[in-house]
Amino acid sequence: MGTTEQHRRRFLPVLALALAWGSPSAGGQASHTSAPSPRDVGEAIPSVQPKEGFVPDQATAVRIAEAILVPIYGEELIKSERPFRATLKEGIWTVVGTLPQRFDGGTAVVRLAKADGRILFVIHEK
């Protein structure tokens, strides 16, 4: 057995023990010297609330809609439906694709909440 292999066989059990000892689930205590992050404290630190909402304008609504649509329907189809138009009514953005001239069918439609960016509706019309 080579020297490298001997070191590896000795080192791996020590490493496993060290990791288990420091793991909170193994009864050890991991030490943290920095302040807790917002993820650690959940709702204790209030989130930023933009005055104009998380989806403040048409351009943002279109970018979010395309980010939602591409994984569902594919980049090629979504690019073919550009430009997308966004209209705002009662705090809801409706984003709709454009069909090329002389094409029959439908386009993608996404509805987003202006205030918090929730995805309310996604469909591709036929």
pTM above 0.75, yes or no: no
- pLDDT digits 0-9 by tens, 82-98: 999 999 999 999 999 99
Instruction: Please check whether residue 44 lies inside any domain of the structure.
Output: no
Check residue 105 and report its DSSP letter.
S
The model's pLDDT over 24-51, given as tens digits with 9 standing for 90+, comes to: 544 445 455 566 666 666 667 888 999 9
The whole domain housing 73 covers 58-124
Give 1-60 as a DSSP string: --HHHHHHHHHHHHHHHHHHHH-GGGT------SPPPHHHHGGGSPPP--TT-SS-SHHH
Domain count, the chain: 1
Q: Is residue 76 part of a domain?
A: yes
CB 21 within 8 A of CB 28: yes
- Residue 33 resides in a domain: no
